[in-house]
Amino acid sequence: MPPWGIPGGCVNICYKCDSELIKPQPIVSSYTPSPIDIADSLQAFPKVGSWWLGSARAWQLFAISVFLVSVPVFIQAPLVRLLPWISLLATGGWLALSCWLLSRPSTRLLGDVILGFTLSWLAGSLYWGWLRWEPFLHLPVEAIGLPFVWWGFRRNWYKVGNFFYLGSLFGTAVTDLYFYVVDLIPHWRQLMQVDSSLALPIFQAAIAQVQTPWGIGWAIALGVVLLVAGLLPLSIQGVRVARYSQLHWWTFAGAVLSTILVDSLFWLTASVV
């Protein structure tokens, strides 16, 4: 049984990126992009002057990444509080879906993204289900997937999913940093310990702290960090024209940039409560 309990059939699925052959040879037939696939990934979507803005496939991966970061969190958040074991067991469902998608050449990239999302879902289930009272454990638990990422990098496998996970983890780290520098950690602990009916005053105190010049200044600074981290990789030539071997940067960018969206939505929700 490979690391993380992933079935051998799933682990042995990989694909070739451009001219690079991944070794060792997989037991399950490997996926080699056909000339049509490669041509499709290199088509502009669209072209502005001399700048290529990706391909249809690249933008699809970007959109999927944004969706997986910004939408499921609003489903998992109440689920882990009410039914943490259900959220944890759902990780197996995401893993099974990923393996099934990875086994089909036409959905290989989607399965790769779902695999990275599975790592994020697992970490979220563990922390918010049982450890949410201690903010200092948040980032270490969210980083639980790093050994799998390292294992995948050594074999050049699952780059699309691994970079999605890393982008999501980076966004989490930046958000946590904001909580520390603006001194929102005490409010975090209180919110996790009180009944929901008593949470409103804590929310209001936290929002008041966010709206200070110090809070606004750090929000702008860290927002710029996220923007740069998300957009800078897309300026690389191979990434900009969406070469097949560089598509993983599009999932990274989608995960990082959508962190801004999620944080903004949570802030707006807390503001109107």
Tokens describing residue 33: 């992009």
Select the more confidently predicted residue: 151 or 21: 151
pLDDT at 52: 58
Select the more confidently predicted residue: 21 or 150: 150
pLDDT at 203: 86
Predicted confidence band of residue 135 (pLDDT cuts 50, 70, 90)? very high
Candidate from 28-42, 98-112, 245-259 with smallest mean pLDDT? 28-42
pLDDT exceeds cutoff 80 at 56: yes
Q: Average pLDDT, stretch 155-163?
A: 96
At 164-221, the pLDDT tens digits run 999 999 999 999 999 999 999 999 999 998 887 788 888 889 999 999 999 999 999 9
- Closest residue by Cα to residue 111 from 124, 126, 99: 99
pLDDT exceeds cutoff 70 at 28: no
pLDDT exceeds cutoff 80 at 152: yes
Domain region containing 255: 3-272
200 membership: H or E segment, kind and range: helix 200-210
What is the C-alpha separation between 114 and 65, in angstroms, rounded? 9
pLDDT at 41: 41
pLDDT exceeds cutoff 70 at 74: yes
Domain count, the chain: 1
pLDDT at 251: 97
pLDDT at 17: 41
Q: Average pLDDT, stretch 20-35?
A: 40
Candidate from 48-62, 152-166, 252-266 with smallest mean pLDDT? 48-62
pLDDT exceeds cutoff 60 at 38: no
pLDDT at 30: 40
- Closest residue by Cα to residue 170 from 61, 94, 260: 260
pLDDT at 171: 97
User: In this structure, which long-range contacts are made by residues 76-81, counting pairs with CB atoms below 8 Å and at least 24 apart in sequence?
Assistant: 76/121, 76/124, 76/125, 76/128, 77/128, 80/124, 80/125, 80/128, 80/129, 80/132, 81/128
pLDDT exceeds cutoff 50 at 80: yes
Tokens describing residue 4: 């993380």
- For the whole model, what pTM was predicted? 0.81
- Closest residue by Cα to residue 69 from 131, 116, 132, 138: 116
Q: Is 4 left (phi over 0), alpha (psi -120 to 50) or beta?
A: left
pLDDT exceeds cutoff 50 at 1: no
What is the SS3 assignment for 194? coil
pLDDT exceeds cutoff 80 at 26: no
